[in-house]
Amino acid sequence: MTNEQPIFASDLPASAHWYTDVLGQPGTPTPDGLRYDLMNGYSLLLSARGQPAKVVLPVPQAAAYQQRFEQRVTVSGENQGRILETQPDSVTLVDPAGNHLQFMTSQSAGPPDC
């Protein structure tokens, strides 16, 4: 069973660019928006119908997501989001629509390329 978390995306193309860069994979178009399938049955659904959210995601290495965020190619004029907080085993990012995503290192999160 999938644990699908709706994520507010007021500007779907800008959010899609941000999430594809940070998650390291493209999303899948759906009738309601764009879905990113993650590991262990988690998925994020970007949609203008969603609500701003705070989401905790178990990942193999939180530092890898911070590194992808810091090294991503940016688009002039695009809201870049920001790093809100870093801890030894987690990083919290704010996306272009103001959602908070906390990536937490978890031993059971799956392979590093998820």
């995503």: which residue's tokens? 101
pLDDT digits (tens, 9 = 90+) for 53-102: 898 888 888 888 888 888 877 766 665 777 778 888 999 988 888 899 89
- Measured between alpha carbons, how far is 35 from 32 in angstroms, rounded to an integer? 9
Cβ–Cβ < 8 Å for 39, 24: no
For 88, the 3-state DSSP assignment is: coil
CA dist 23 and 13 (Å) reads 15
The identity of residue 35, as a single letter, is R
Q: What pTM value is reported for the model?
A: 0.79
Q: Which CATH superfamily is domain 3-105 in?
A: 2,3-Dihydroxybiphenyl 1,2-Dioxygenase, domain 1 (3.10.180.10)
The structural domains of the chain, with segments of one domain joined by +, span 3-105
